[in-house]
Structure 1
Amino acid sequence: MKVICETKNLVLREFFEIDAYELFQMNSDKELMRIVNEKPYKSEEEANFFIENMIKHYQEFGFGLWGVHEKKSGRFVGWGGLRQTKYGAIINIRLKRKFQNKGYGTEVLNVIVDYAKNELKLDKIAAKANANQPETLKLLQKSKLTKSEDNELVYKL
């Protein structure tokens, strides 16, 4: 198990095949997936495909989306990390609904920003919220990122 970073309450680590069931449970939540504007997973195979692609992403870029787990209980909370796009590294965070509004999003966002700057030595990263995600916008406004002058929904390092 490769631990990437830790916060007061959470551990972020690389995904493994054994995480497929928990990932499927989160991404089959119709309400959560409506909010993030994605189709819910219909099978655990979709979660396996996601994990396989993320492992390739780790190998190609040295970072990716990581599983987020509570330190005390070990429970899967969601995922967070960086995804390489044609625009550069983009922060992505998704937490199970039952773990939202506990401060975990703030912990994950801040540790990802610190890790990107201090460990990966990235000088450019961004995060984006959809207009229908007011909680995400609040999270970004409180973060170590700065609102983009070009787009009020984009925040940059």
Structure 2
Amino acid sequence: MQFYLETERLILRELLETDIDGIFELDSNPEVHKYLGNNPIKTKKKAEEIITFVRNQYKELGIGRFACIEKSTGEFIGWSGLKLNTGKKEGLNGFTDFIDIGYRLIPRFWGKGYASESAFATLNFGFTKMNYETIYGAAEIENIGSNKILQKIGLQFQNEFIYDDVKVNWYRLTREDYGK
């Protein structure tokens, strides 16, 4: 299955092996990982592994994060999209086998509304094309920006939980409530 979406300013497409430099710039940045366990990657080999992992999700699970490309420049700016979390290893807040929405952008692209724009598009894709019943989201409580985006795109706060000794907000949106 090939993934391709367009918004006013972005192209959302499959993550490709050629995105290695972009993934490395994104995931080696300590600022990006401030609310992700403070564990940025250190090598391009690890960036390759991330791409392989996501590409395997496309094949095995039918969904995975999208590369975000800025239309005006053609630059890789990060990723956004849906992920099927499976099994206990990827479980969160007592849930396993659920779809979550996420986004991660290179800091020089922050503050432009790209995360919201891409999240709206992938949320629509999840409900209208993939026919998911429920989409979840999670953000560390201190990550004000991410919490605002999840609320802005319509996800509803459910509860707070602890993950790796950090307080996290848990959100969800059902297809029935989508667009209300």
Equivalent of 1:138, from 135, 142, 148? 148
Contact 2:100-2:137 at 8 Å conserved across structures:
yes
Shift of 1:3: 4.5
Equivalent of 1:147, from 157, 162, 180? 157
Q: Partner of 1:101: helix, strand, or coil?
A: coil
Distance 1:27 1:12 in 2: 18
The percent of aligned pairs where both chains have the same amino acid is 28
Structure 1 gaps, min length 5: none
Shift of 1:40: 1.1
Corresponding residue of 2:73 = 73
Corresponding residue of 1:90 = 100
Contact 1:57-1:63 at 8 Å conserved across structures:
yes
Contact 1:4-1:14 at 8 Å conserved across structures:
yes
Q: Larger % of strand: which? A: 2
Distance 1:72 1:3 in 2: 20
Question: How much is the aligned-residue C-alpha RMSD, in angstroms?
Answer: 1.4
Distance 1:103 1:17 in 2: 26
Corresponding residue of 1:23 = 23
Q: Partner of 1:94: helix, strand, or coil?
A: strand
Q: Partner of 1:35: helix, strand, or coil?
A: coil
Shift of 1:44: 0.5
Q: Partner of 1:111: helix, strand, or coil?
A: helix
Contact 1:95-1:105 at 8 Å conserved across structures:
yes
Distance 2:67 2:130 in 1: 18
Corresponding residue of 1:55 = 55
Q: Which runs of 4+ in 1 moved over 3 A?
A: none
Corresponding residue of 2:111 = 101
Q: Larger % of helix: which? A: 1
Alignment: residue pair count: 155
Question: Deviations for 1:113-154, whole angstroms, at most 9, x for unmatched residues?
Answer: 100000100011101111120111111121122222x33812
